[in-house]
């Protein structure tokens, strides 16, 4: 990608660009956890349900952590 | 990713969202109470399933013929259309209507107790939950409304996919979970939109896609009736439908059905002449025998006069997908904790929709190129390297 102007902000050191794989590592994990949780819940009562609740809570908990740490 | 590619995805994201957002907000707001409809029914004393005690109506109790007779005594001159069983309690429902092919608006749903054979009463109609469900399903517009909301669901899926594509270049310089709060209000909203969107992605995709499939329920049932079902009952083609006066014993029909599909629990019986059977058959729909297949129904078609089995067999793949889509859309298959998770993720979806709308409302004109730049170079402060 060639250079592109971004407003008039001060020149600063930027974070290096992460690869697409790195950017999507966490989202992919969350996607798999969510879908596994949704399907597991269908496979029975008891343990599968508990696993389903745990897996589906991961995205909610991670979002809550991000909000708690924002700044 | 090329700048022009990013711009194309940006336009897809913007328009698929803008067109559908208000309808999706309505679906979220109406969906929220629907998640808890069982609990709400219990609160207002309409959940007979949790009150009645005894053998589940799917397993046994008073003869089915007697249950039909008791229901028809309440609705003189009408004909039976459906009978549905409970897996948990003696509750049994019978739907009646003026004719075998009656419109759903003319049907009456009756609650009965199969352990005693007594009528409990007609299902309450016209309540707030009915209103909410109707709004959520078809906005009181019937099939066109359903298909329209299905289309909005498809746009939602398109918005999710394009949102994920834009997430990649935008987040290349930001660690996962970044919420910048010290910059402009727009950046603050944008970061929240991206974080909650990516975190709830899996759930939103599943609920969106299953919503689209549910919106196609009527056409899918019709295609089964005209295709698979017509083939299974080909020898009856051209015969006059059986007159309700000539319906044979339902108990005998159930016995034939259960010997064709042994070990399975019946969920409902469709009487001749409606959308779920032929003009000549009792269609007995059985649940699968394992937890995962519990939602997959298999019909046994029983000649309504002779009570002999005509055929039994699984429904086509698309109809099976429809049956699996229901629990995955409603979130009613994993107890109260799953419903609470469903509600939390619905609230998250509302926030994604609302923040997206805010981002669009607060946009400054003629700055689309700068927004594309922001995505293309990766969000951060300062000049690009």
Rounded to 5 degrees, φ, ψ at B176 are -55, 135
Is A38 in the B-facing interface, judged by CB distances under 8 Å?
Answer: yes
Write the burial class of residue B89 (CB in 10 Å: 0-12 exposed, 13-18 middle, 19+ buried). Answer: buried
E strand segments, B79-176: 79-85, 91-97, 108-113, 119-122
The pLDDT tens digits of the residues spanning A48-57 come to 999 999 999 9
**So what's the pLDDT on residue B376?**
85
Reported ipTM: 0.86
Res. A71 pLDDT band, cuts 50 70 90: low
The pLDDT tens digits of the residues spanning B101-134 come to 999 889 999 999 999 999 998 887 778 888 999 9
* Residue A48 within a domain: yes
Q: Is the pLDDT of residue B383 over 50?
A: no
Q: Do residues B299 and B257 make contact, with C-beta atoms less than 8 angstroms apart?
A: no
Decide which of B366 and A44 is more confident: A44
* Residue A19 within a domain: no
The pLDDT tens digits of the residues spanning B192-230 come to 999 999 999 999 999 999 999 999 999 999 999 999 999
Give percent of chain B with pLDDT exceeding 70. Answer: 98
Per the structure block, which two tokens stand in for B380?
A: 């951060």
Q: Do residues B125 and B106 make contact, with C-beta atoms less than 8 angstroms apart?
A: no
Q: Which residue of B has its CA nearest to A20?
A: B168
CB distance A41–B385 less than 8 Å?
no
Enumerate residues 6+ apart whose C-beta is below 8 A from B294: B287, B288
**So what's the pLDDT on residue B286?**
96
* Residue A16 within a domain: no
Host domain of residue A36: 26-69
How many domains does the structure of chain A reveal?
Answer: 1
A-B CB pairs within 8 A amount to 148
Cα Rg of chain B (Å, integer): 26
The pLDDT tens digits of the residues spanning B138-157 come to 999 999 999 999 999 999 99
With tokens 């759903």, the residue in question is: B104
Q: Do residues B248 and B307 make contact, with C-beta atoms less than 8 angstroms apart?
A: yes
Decide which of B189 and B377 is more confident: B189
Q: Do residues B338 and A52 make contact, with C-beta atoms less than 8 angstroms apart?
A: yes
From residue B135, give the alpha-carbon distance in Å to each of B29, B130, B280, B372: 10, 9, 35, 37
CB distance B202–A31 less than 8 Å?
yes
The pLDDT tens digits of the residues spanning B37-88 come to 989 888 877 778 878 889 999 999 999 999 999 999 999 999 999 999 999 9
Per the structure block, which two tokens stand in for B271?
A: 């009487």
C-alpha angle with apex B182: B177 to B186, nearest 5 degrees? 80
From residue A10, give the alpha-carbon distance in Å to each of A6, B256, B289: 10, 81, 66
Q: Measure the N-to-C terminal CA separation of chain A; round to a whole number of Å.
A: 30
Per the structure block, which two tokens stand in for B281?
A: 């058959």
**So what's the pLDDT on residue A12?**
53
Res. B291 pLDDT band, cuts 50 70 90: confident
- Which residues of chain A are within 8 Å of residue B179 when distances are taken between CB atoms? 66-67, 69-71
- Which residues of chain A are within 8 Å of residue B376 when distances are taken between CB atoms? 1, 4
* Residue A1 within a domain: no
* Residue A63 within a domain: yes
From residue A46, give the alpha-carbon distance in Å to each of A36, A41, B344, B358: 16, 9, 22, 42
Q: Which residue of A has its CA nearest to B338?
A: A53
Q: Which of A44, A63, A68, A69 to mutate to test the interface with B (most CBs of B within 10 A)?
A: A63
Tell me the shortest Cα–Cα distance from B177 to chain A, in angstroms.
5
**So what's the pLDDT on residue A14?**
64
* Residue A43 within a domain: yes
Cα Rg of chain A (Å, integer): 19
Is A42 in the B-facing interface, judged by CB distances under 8 Å?
Answer: yes
C-alpha angle with apex B84: B258 to B220, nearest 5 degrees? 90
Q: Which of B7, B174, B193, B202 to mutate to test the interface with A (most CBs of A within 10 A)?
A: B202
* Residue A45 within a domain: yes
Rounded CA-CA distance B230/B295 in Å is 23
From residue B229, give the alpha-carbon distance in Å to each of B216, B273, B284, B315: 18, 13, 13, 9
Q: Which of A34, A39, A46 to mutate to test the interface with B (most CBs of B within 10 A)?
A: A34
CB distance B382–A14 less than 8 Å?
yes
Q: Do residues B247 and B307 make contact, with C-beta atoms less than 8 angstroms apart?
A: no
Average pLDDT in the B295-320 region? 94
Per the structure block, which two tokens stand in for B360?
A: 């669009």
Res. A2 pLDDT band, cuts 50 70 90: very low
């Amino acid at each position: 990608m060639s250079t592109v102007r971004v407003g008039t902000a001060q020149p600063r050191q930027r974070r290096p660009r992460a690869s697409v794989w790195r950017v999507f590592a966490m989202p992919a994990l969350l996607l798999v956890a969510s879908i596994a949780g949704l399907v597991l819940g269908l496979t029975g009562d008891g343990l599968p349900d508990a696993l389903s609740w745990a897996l589906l809570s991961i995205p909610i908990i991670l979002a809550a952590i991000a909000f708690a740490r924002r700044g | 990713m090329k700048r022009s590619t990013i711009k194309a995805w940006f336009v897809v994201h913007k328009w698929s969202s803008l067109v559908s957002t208000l309808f999706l907000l309505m679906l979220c707001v109406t969906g929220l109470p629907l998640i808890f409809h069982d609990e709400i029914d219990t609160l207002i004393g309409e959940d007979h399933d949790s009150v009645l005690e005894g053998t589940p109506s799917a397993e046994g109790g008073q003869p089915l013929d007697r249950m039909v007779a008791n229901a028809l005594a309440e609705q003189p001159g009408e004909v039976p259309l459906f009978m549905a069983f409970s897996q948990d309690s003696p509750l049994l429902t019978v739907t009646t209507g003026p004719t075998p092919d009656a419109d759903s608006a003319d049907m009456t749903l009756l609650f009965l107790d199969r352990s005693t054979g007594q009528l409990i009463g007609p299902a309450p109609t016209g309540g707030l939950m009915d209103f909410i469900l109707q709004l959520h399903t078809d906005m009181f517009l019937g099939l066109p409304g359903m298909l329209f909301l299905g289309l909005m669901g498809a746009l939602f899926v398109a918005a999710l996919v394009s949102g994920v594509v834009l997430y990649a270049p935008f987040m290349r310089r930001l660690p996962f979970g970044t919420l910048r709060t010290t910059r402009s209000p727009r950046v603050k909203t944008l970061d929240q939109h991206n974080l909650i969107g990516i975190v709830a992605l899996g759930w939103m995709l599943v609920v969106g896609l299953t919503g689209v499939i549910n919106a196609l329920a009527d056409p899918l049932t019709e295609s089964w009736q005209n295709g698979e079902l017509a083939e299974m009952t080909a020898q009856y083609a051209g015969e006059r439908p059986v007159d309700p006066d000539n319906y044979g014993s339902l108990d005998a029909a159930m016995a034939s059905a259960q010997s064709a599909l042994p070990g399975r629990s019946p969920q409902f019986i469709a009487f001749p002449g409606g959308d779920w059977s032929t003009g000549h058959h009792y269609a007995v729909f059985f649940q699968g025998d394992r937890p995962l297949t519990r939602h997959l129904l298999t019909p046994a078609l029983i000649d309504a006069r002779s009570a002999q089995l005509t055929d039994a067999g699984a429904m086509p793949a698309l109809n099976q997908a429809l049956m699996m889509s229901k629990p995955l859309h409603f979130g009613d298959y994993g107890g109260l904790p799953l419903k609470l998770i469903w509600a939390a993720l619905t609230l998250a979806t509302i926030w994604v929709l609302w923040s997206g709308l805010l981002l669009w409302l607060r946009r400054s004109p003629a700055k689309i190129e700068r927004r594309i730049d922001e995505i293309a170079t990766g969000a951060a402060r300062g000049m690009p390297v």
